[in-house]
Amino acid sequence: MLTVSLAERALYAFVFVSIVSHFVYARWIRCWSRVHHPPGPSPLPLLGNVYQLPDGHKEKTMSDWAVVFGKLVYVSFFRTRVLIVSSLDVAQEIMEKRSMHYSDRPRLVHMQEMMQWTSHLGYAASSEDFRKHRKWLQSAFLAHNSLVKYRPIQLREVRVLLDGMSGSSSQFEQHLNRFIGAILMEVVYGYTVTSADDKFLKYGSEVMEEVAHAGYPSLSPPDWLPFLKYVPTWLPFGKYRKESERFKDLVRKMRADPYDYVRKTMAAGTAPSSFTSTLVEEAVRTNLLTLQEEEDIKDMATLVYGGGMDTTVSTLSAFVLAMVLNPRVLKKAQEEMDYVVNQDRLPDFSDRNSLPYLECIIKEVYRWHVVAPLGVPHQSTIDDKVRGFDIPGKTVIIPNLWAISRDPERYPDPETFYPERFEHARAGSIPQTDPRKFIFGFGRRICPGRLLADANIWLAIANMVATLDIGKARDSAGSEIEPRVESTSGFISHFEDYMSDIKPRSENAAQLIAAAAV
């Protein structure tokens, strides 16, 4: 009887697997080469380009790819096809001019299905739900009459912000968090925040901190391998499920508790007008307040509150760091402010058109620190051609906003904080585009709260410039402490913690702050 040793069996198995792998690889290469995709780093069979994607700061690796392969880079992560766009012109071409075919979202297994962070992220742009919710948001946050209604809240809270920052520079981010959180809680839920320790603010801060560090949408292993959502927590890759279980409870509180507050105050007849109460009243009036409608209202309210909170704090913190590093810019802005406002009052929205240099500073803050480096992904719905390249349907489109903000042809010397770049373009150069044309997204998926966010940021920065000196902190020996300029990695980017010295710029400014805080 013929016997086969264990070594021979292993050899036969190796030969068999090698032959099969060869044919699979050959077929995969033929299929890959039939179409003319944009260039990109060489993929491996089955794995694609997973092995080339780092854990952190993916936007920087993708920017390096753009230098080698061009502004359109085509990669794959297992079976997920991805087009990385590092050109503003191309991003606008496909996601705005061709928005009908590039406005869907990919399946977001990690963030949407596992973490349950606002289900609207997955709606197809052609769905009735998407159109209904977009109409809700546009009515509340794009109509001029609606935005004007929020100004008393914004003006009240910026005075609280100045009072806090002038007395405690070491906790300035806590004051920024309270500023934007209080505005959004009142706009969205009609709830007045009276303390930085407010429980609703804590819910929002905890949730958005988790979202910021959860990884990039569509670029986590569960997005490529959806079965990972079922992997037990004690197995490798089970960490995604473990983290998501903890996160879901935070999201539940953030969605349900403020909404319940609105319903209770409406029942008592004491609810002030808010985004949520308006939607509930309309649904009751039309007899459409179903359980599903309530869930939709919760989703949209959570989207506005959560989406506007962490991004605004990150932008305002970036402004403070920019002023610490660039005292010349702050001094020039203060001179403009003094000329317009005369140091006898605080600036308000009526001053905006009279402060062009301040506008340049805000544009440069947006460009210098893009809070969502890779934006939120789109997905193509049809096979298409872009700049002569074949783009299959259901390709994930990732706009590399970080790379766009550092395009040296559009923004010379991009790592330097230089607001004057927006005062005038150099002769023969590409106009230095207002970053608001890309940082808030594109086409049908553009951020519906962008005007409110921009107004909040302008008001906070204008008032800080008018009343505060912002500089480097000093150690016990009186020497200046140089801050680190390093950003965190993830969906939402923040600068790493740094120290600063913030104080009223004059006795008159201190009196203005004190009088406004009463």
Q: Please enumerate, by residue number, every residue annotated as part of a binding site for heme.
A: 447
> Is residue 233 within 8 Å of residue 242, measured between CB atoms?
yes
Tokens of 462: 């204008």
> Three-state SS for 271?
coil
> Three-state SS for 247?
helix
Distance (Å, whole) CA 207 – CA 310: 10
> Three-state SS for 6?
helix
Side-chain-side CA neighbours of 359 within 13 Å: the count stands at 11
> Three-state SS for 430?
coil
150: left (phi over 0), alpha (psi -120 to 50) or beta: alpha
Distance (Å, whole) CA 371 – CA 432: 19
Helix or strand run (H / E) with residue 293: helix 291-325
Separation in Å, CA 166 to CA 328, 342, 473, 496: 21, 20, 14, 22
Distance (Å, whole) CA 171 – CA 207: 20
Separation in Å, CA 505 to CA 73, 92, 159, 334: 49, 43, 16, 10
Q: Characterize the bridge pairing of strands 72-77 and 389-391.
A: unpaired
Residues annotated as binding site?
Answer: 447
Q: Characterize the bridge pairing of strands 389-391 and 468-471.
A: unpaired
